[in-house]
């Protein structure tokens, strides 16, 4: 039993040194609430599913569209079959205020950007806080496609606004600019070499003490 406990301590030391996965700070980034099943529907932009809205998200036009990806001619993205169409009745602005941030800390923002088949020219701007991260200009696509997007952002306060802004670019005004699987989590910070050596040294010390106690017990 003592050997098992000591081995568990070594594992705990190593786990402490390597760290663990950081929590996703986005609410309803899979757009699964409310559930539209195999179809699509529009909801109010209140930010709460309890009031016929899309949990976590608000918008400018007052109407957010959630689609099953198959309905809009796209494959599921990262295994998620629901997406949000930024152009619902017209190019809209979709946003979420993210809390639980630490000022000065870097975060990984990831999402899928989808271009619907036959949507024509589309434009989408992505902001975090007041910073423009990217502008997407998509031409007409016969088949439609997803692209995987990843940005490293820095929090300037304990909360920040993530925003997807649709811009009319000559294509279908109420057709296109899909986003899916939106995630924001604290960026992993590689352990410094001295810290890594110290953690490994602590684990070796525990193993050494355990071996010494066993050898003494045999005498």
Neighbour order of strands in the sheet with 93-99: 58-59, 93-99, 159-168, 122-128, 131-138
pLDDT tens for residues 30-60?
999 999 999 999 999 999 999 999 999 999 9
- Residue 30: C-alpha distances to residues 67, 81, 85, 104, 187 (Å): 11, 8, 13, 27, 20
Please answer whether residues 146 and 74 qualify as being in contact, where contact means their C-beta atoms are separated by less than 8 angstroms: yes
**Stretch among 7-11, 67-71, 125-129, 158-162 having the lowest mean pLDDT:** 7-11
At residue 219, the pLDDT reads: 54
**Residue 1 pLDDT > 70, yes or no?**
no
Domains, the chain, ordered by start: 21-186 (2.60.120.260)
State the average pLDDT over residues 83-95.
97
- Which residues in 27-173 belong to E strands, given as ranges? 40-43, 58-59, 64-68, 82-87, 93-99, 106-115, 122-128, 131-138, 145-154, 159-168
In sequence order, the 6+-apart residues with CB closer than 8 A to the CB of 101 are 25, 107, 155, 157, 158, 159, 160
Average pLDDT over residues 98-106: 98
Whether 10 has a pLDDT exceeding 90, the answer reads no
Rounded mean pLDDT, 19-36? 90
- Does residue 212 or residue 173 have the better pLDDT? 173
CB 90 within 8 A of CB 174: yes
Say yes or no to pLDDT of 160 above 90. yes
This prediction's pTM: 0.79
User: Which residue reads 């490994």 in tokens?
Assistant: 200
User: How far apart are the two ends of the chain, measured CA to CA in Å?
Assistant: 21
Most confident of the ranges 34-43, 189-198, 200-209: 34-43
Model confidence at 140, pLDDT cuts 50, 70, 90, reads confident
- Binned at pLDDT 50, 70 and 90, residue 5 comes out as very low
Residue pair 142/90 in contact (Cβ under 8 Å)? The answer is no
164, 175, 144: which is closest to 45 by C-alpha? 164
Instruction: Specify the pLDDT at position 210.
Output: 47
Give me the chain's average pLDDT, please.
85
pLDDT of 181 > 80? The answer is: yes
142 band by pLDDT with thresholds 50, 70 and 90: confident
The answer to whether the CB of 181 falls within 8 A of the CB of 29 is yes
- How far apart are the C-alpha atoms of 31 and 86, rounded to whole Å? 12
CA–CA dist 163, 136 (Å, integer): 14
For residue 20, what pLDDT is reported?
Answer: 53
Secondary structure element (H or E) that encloses residue 182, with its range: strand 176-186
Q: For residue 158, is pLDDT > 70?
A: yes
């Amino acid at each position: 039993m003592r050997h098992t406990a000591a081995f568990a301590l070594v594992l705990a030391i190593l786990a402490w040194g390597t760290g663990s996965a950081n929590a996703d700070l986005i609410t309803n980034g899979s757009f699964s609430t409310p559930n539209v099943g195999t179809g699509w529907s529009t909801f109010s932009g209140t930010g709460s599913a309890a009031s016929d809205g899309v949990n976590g998200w608000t918008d400018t036009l007052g109407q957010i569209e959630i689609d099953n990806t198959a309905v809009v001619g796209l494959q599921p993205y990262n295994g998620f079959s629901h997406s949000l169409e930024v152009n619902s009745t017209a190019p809209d602005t979709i946003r979420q205020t993210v809390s639980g941030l630490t000022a000065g800390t870097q975060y990984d923002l990831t999402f899928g950007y989808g271009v619907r088949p036959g949507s024509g020219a589309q434009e989408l701007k992505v902001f975090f806080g007041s910073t423009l991260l990217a502008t997407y200009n998509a031409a007409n696509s016969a088949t439609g496609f997803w692209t995987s997007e990843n940005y490293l952002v820095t929090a300037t306060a304990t909360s920040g606004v993530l925003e997807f802004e649709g811009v009319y670019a000559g294509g279908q005004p109420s057709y296109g600019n899909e986003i899916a699987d939106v995630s924001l989590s604290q960026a992993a910070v590689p352990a410094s070499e001295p810290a890594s050596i110290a953690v490994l040294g602590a684990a070796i010390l525990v193993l050494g003490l355990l071996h010494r106690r066993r050898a003494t017990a045999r005498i």
